[in-house]
Structure 1
């Protein structure tokens, strides 16, 4: 194993290009894949739920919003819990429970039962995203953390894509219940592979779990210049992205497009663009600086939103792909920036970033259903444009941020 000595001459971090680096990236790729397949696999099923359970589009969006809302809150505690008992154990437990809850959702009898299981899934899912960010920040050499974070986010994107495509196709050819059974089974396999692949932490320093320290500790990241702006960027980016994907299916399955569940689900293959963008732009940010790249990613996302206003299916798909590229690139930059600027309490800073990230998903994603019902896609696109103008202002503000002496 090749590692880089730290300044104290005792600890070592995992260098890019080594066998341990590849094992770490494989494990975290699987974690991202599993968690986001389980989280977003129901997204293309929202029109099916609305029809089968006789609920509105906004109500059917609760299958996503309740999960992401619970995830946002519980990640604040998950990070502190992992500070006390370790990273790997919590992540593996989270992946296993999430898979089991997905299997259970296949047998629900009504929409209320589905909502309860999706709410509990948000609690279970909280044990991966912020802890994975903290793990990478602690264990990976700083010169490779952007690439590693990009690959983790790429795994998340791949999982989100596969989950959506598989559930869409299986729902057409079998049923949504079969789709969830397949999704949950794949999650269990990923949990076993994750446990076998991820190296144990070498730079983790346990901290006692004290509830009051947790509350007071949440304020520490807000005192670090730049972090509150990154939290705002997370809210705006994710809120826009999830809102687009929540309601584009309703648009494309309705006249004049009248696409099937399978075809609509297959459009999520544009996530491949996001997978590539997260790693590529993450590497560019390592090379040229995050403050130079974030506003470019936001502009790309904004351009994609405007393309979705078209009445041409080909242009709409191009717009979805462009939004996906900009979002994954921006998220890769902002999330890796968190670990670089948070010198202490990395898990708490990561948890807060993802709290705002998933709060944006829950709040904007649900509100988008109201906008869709009242103003159709024009109303949704107007909402997304406003959010991305705000995100652009945030990114420009971050571009003038004074670098920390140890983190660009």
Structure 2
């Protein structure tokens, strides 16, 4: 079915229980799975990659950052492309290109070429995080967008888990190159499932056709105007801070936990590192309940509460008892994926103009935080140790809470007036 034209009645969106709703949610789950298997699979092979290619722990972590930097650089361009060709078509092209590039990564001969190939995969993957939430906001009834966004993020988390659980054991048996190759196959299967399931769009209106209201009041506004408006809005800035600090903190803990548990006092085999990533499942569960918590308690309470839970988890991660560390990792993950889905969903719902650009900027924020802190805080780990690193991560969580209190609380009444087309 062609995209909705401006002269047609407003599109109400599919309701939960309708067949098209189920297809959309399942397709976005598959897209998130395909995307995140290929972003974070490298986390499970960092110790092996460090040993084989002779680099330091923070340098090895750049293999994760390369993919997230690539996505961060491409989300805004992909959002603009999607404004023209449609959200679904952009995601189809993105997943296809990324799948092909992912098979090249294990063939790269040096660490530098691995980083280049990983960066190209990230550039190709950018469409899904850039437009997925905007797509849900256009195709689904407003009352179900946050719930569906939670399911999409659950696909992200399960994809992240699968990538790590596949790459780690395969790496121990056959090397990190084989581990990444098998993950590429899993990503290809998920991308194919997206192609099969996703229905043609009903709520999309191509940018520039004159329906300014179709994109949260920004359809006919210049791209630059839509982007800069988000950066003047304290509510949107607060949401972007959540992605930047919270997902940056998440990347730090998961990047360097593997190095810690393979060193004294734990001295566990590298294959065990992948099993710890099962704690990521707690994020899948909490992301599914985040929409219900939002409806009951409001965004500010849920986000600040999620940060508080993260801090409890960080305190437990100081322990040198493995069971306590595992519990701490689960608690930390639950807190992160209580706050993050709420902020992600609100980045589309709260946008006064330029919904696609608003959600793309949220993706840019969390990917930028993942890329920057995933490497930078690793230098603290390398020089001052695990506990010093956790102190920095706690500071990042507190920064996110302060931003939420300001932008979603004290300054919410000072949101700027949307420009007219």
State the TM-score, normalized to the length of structure 1. 0.93
SS of the residue corresponding to residue 226 of structure 1 reads helix
- Alignment correspondent of 1:284: 293
Which range moved further: 174-183 or 349-358?
A: 174-183
| Deviation of 1:57 (Å) | 0.9
| Counterpart position of 2:368 | 359
Q: Secondary structure at the match of 1:254?
A: coil
| Residue in 2 that maps onto 1:36 | 36
Query: Tell me, what secondary structure is at the counterpart of 1:355?
Result: helix
How far has the Cα of 1:198 moved from its partner? Answer: 1.1
| Aligned mates of 1:337, 1:387 — CA distance in 2 | 21
Q: Is residue 348 of structure 2 the alignment partner of residue 339 of structure 1? A: yes
Find the residue that maps to 2:13 and give its secondary structure: strand
Distance 1:401 1:240 in 2: 25
Equivalence for 1:23:
23
How do 1:52-63 residues align onto structure 2 when only pairs under 5 Å count? 52-63=52-63
Find the aligned partners of 1:292 and 1:369 in 2 and give their Cα distance. Answer: 31
Matches within 5 A, 1:8-407: 9-208=9-208, 213-397=222-406, 398-400=408-410, 402=412
Contact 1:298 1:327 in 2 (8 A): yes
Q: Write the deviation string for residues 349-375 of structure 1: whole angstroms up to 9, x where unpaired.
A: 011111111111111111122101111
Secondary structure of 1:218's counterpart equals helix
Mean CA deviation greater in 242-251 or 57-66 = 57-66
Unaligned runs of 5+ in 1: 1-7
> Shift of the alpha carbon at 1:395?
2.5
Change (3 A) 1:249 1:230: same
Contact 1:291-1:400 at 8 Å conserved across structures:
no
Q: Give 1:223 deviation, angstroms.
A: 3.3
CA drift of 1:69 comes to 1.5
Question: Residue 205 of structure 1 aligns to a residue in which SS?
Answer: coil
Q: Distance in 1 between the 2:252 and 2:45 partners?
A: 15
In structure 1, what is the Cα distance between the partners aligned to 2:189 and 2:394?
40
Alignment TM-score, normalising by the size of structure 2:
0.90
**Deviations for 1:279-335, whole angstroms, at most 9, x for unmatched residues?**
112222134322231111111111111110111111111111111111111111101
How many residue pairs match? The answer is: 396
SS of match in other structure, 2:385: helix
How far, CA to CA, are the matches of 1:215 and 1:144 in structure 2?
30
- Counterpart of 2:418? none
Q: Which runs of 5+ in 2 are unaligned?
A: 1-7, 210-218, 416-421
2 CA distance for matches of 1:262 and 1:226? 43
Q: CA deviation at 1:139?
A: 1.1
1:233 and 1:391 in contact (8 A); partners too: yes
* More deviation, 237-246/201-210: 201-210
Any conservation in 2 of the 1:171–1:261 contact (CA below 8 Å)?
Answer: no
Task: Give the superposition deviation at 1:10.
Answer: 4.2
